[in-house]
Amino acid sequence: MTAPHTLTLAEAAALIAARRLSPVELLEDCLSRIAAVEPRLNAIIALLAEPARTAARDAEAEIAKAGPRSPLHGIPVGLKDIIDLAGIATTCHSKLQIDRIATEDAAVVTRLRAAGAIFPAKLATHEFAIGGPAFDLPFPPARNPWNLAHHPGGSSSGSGAAIAARYFPAALGTDTGGSVRHPASHCGIVGLKATYGLVSRRGVFPLAFTLDHVGPMTRTVRDNAMLLNAMAGHDAADPGSAAAPAEDYTRLLNAGLQGLRIGFVRHFHETDQPAIPEVAAALEAAAKLMAAEGAILSNITLPPLGEFAAVNRTILLPEATAIHEPWLRDRPGDYAAVTRRRLLPGMFTTGTDYVQAQRRRRELVALVEAAFGEVDLLLTASSMEPACRIDDPAEVERTYPRQARTPFNVTGHPAISVMCGVQASTGLPIGLQLVAPSFAEARLFAAAAGYERAAPWAAMAPGL
């Protein structure tokens, strides 16, 4: 059999259900993979090997007696370390939280635990999900498994790196301005920001209350849909939670692209934030492949990227300051320099600025909704260039905002990043983004899976 740590979630689940693989065997092989690679990758903040082994043995016994509860029963899932796991520190990759022990599971962990998932590790993030790769923190920054000299994207950096490096089949990240889709794009995996409110944020350290999402990160589109099945659901204790009806997000995975009307937002990467030629060429090739698979492509125009970015920034910063103000006043030196620099402008954003940004946000939502009156999905760039070196702060600052993910945090629409190419000079992945109307995740997965099947990229892996 293929080494268990290389299996996708769907493959591992099928073997566990057929009694050809045990959760204990899967976990032990994943732990061996981590031991071999982790000293170079820095994706893990806390390895929870013994609690995970106990959970794997319990899962094995339960499955032997009654069969799996769900496809996630016995599957290891990593957690970005702003997500609470009862009895374990939620450090947020920061001195300020290093000793805070979670007293209960986050809502999404509760749902995954009920499905039988196992949690072997808390994963690196950028500090409080707003910093960048920083070397003045208690833990080193995660690195990109495709090229260890480069950063993996953020802020769900450890989650993206761990999945690409085959530590386990699935992980959770969070996304406030693109932080699931950024590492998905840079690490060549699949990352989803679902519709705002579809997944509870209770028990997740907040960055910006009206922009935060929790998202699944996997190696394939099918795995992503399977993970979302267990994650999604209304939570009355999360004020932003949506009372959406339950559904099976895998139900359209084989439907393909035939007949789907896809609006290509070319101006995002052609004029608003010009992409490097290799990224532009990869996007054009992906559009042609989608058309060859039966999609109907047309150009669509939205407001410029800069307008979405300004609205996102003017909302995010004061919302973040509302959380961090006591520490910024009393313990500013305990933040990494990059985190402090990113948070401080929120202290000077006026109430008028915030209200006007929220007003413009509603108008932007309406404009994107109008676009979905003409097309079924949108196709855009994710990042405008692959990951830069991790040890070049100026390049990190320059490239970090060169992306088209933020618009859909502003509007709340579901968006997914999948791999669509490789930069020849560095061997680093290139990603595209597909976007759907609110609560149309099943349609989004159908298109992404159709592209994934037709393209060669899903079979590629970093050479660690």
> What single DSSP character describes residue 439?
T
> What single DSSP character describes residue 133?
S
For 124, the 3-state DSSP assignment is coil
Whether residue 32 is preceded by a cis peptide bond, meaning omega within 30 degrees of 0, is no
> What single DSSP character describes residue 368?
H
178 close to 268: Cβ distance less than 8 angstroms? no
161 close to 187: Cβ distance less than 8 angstroms? yes
Length in residues, the chain: 464
438 catalytic residue (yes or no): no
E strand residue ranges, 235-317: 261-264, 296-299
Closest to 280 in 3D by CA, of 296, 266, 292, 294:
266
> What residues form DSSP beta bridges with 373?
none
What does the radius of gyration of the chain's CA atoms come to, in whole angstroms? 20
Distance of alpha carbon 190 from alpha carbon 272, whole angstroms: 25
> What single DSSP character describes residue 397?
H
Annotated catalytic residue: which of 155, 157, 159, 438?
Answer: 155
Residue ranges of alpha helices (H) inside 188-262 are: 221-231
80 catalytic residue (yes or no): yes
E strand residue ranges, 83-183: 121-123, 170-175
Annotated catalytic residue: which of 94, 156, 157, 179?
Answer: 179
155 catalytic residue (yes or no): yes
Match 């013994």 to its residue by tokens: 50
Distance of alpha carbon 325 from alpha carbon 334, whole angstroms: 13
Burial class from Cβ neighbours inside 10 Å (0-12, 13-18, 19+) for residue 348 reads exposed
Distance of alpha carbon 149 from alpha carbon 254, whole angstroms: 38
Annotated catalytic residue: which of 22, 80, 193, 382?
Answer: 80
**Between 441-454 and 277-292, two packed helices, what is the crossing angle to 10 degrees?**
100
Q: Which residues are known to be catalytic?
A: 80, 155, 179
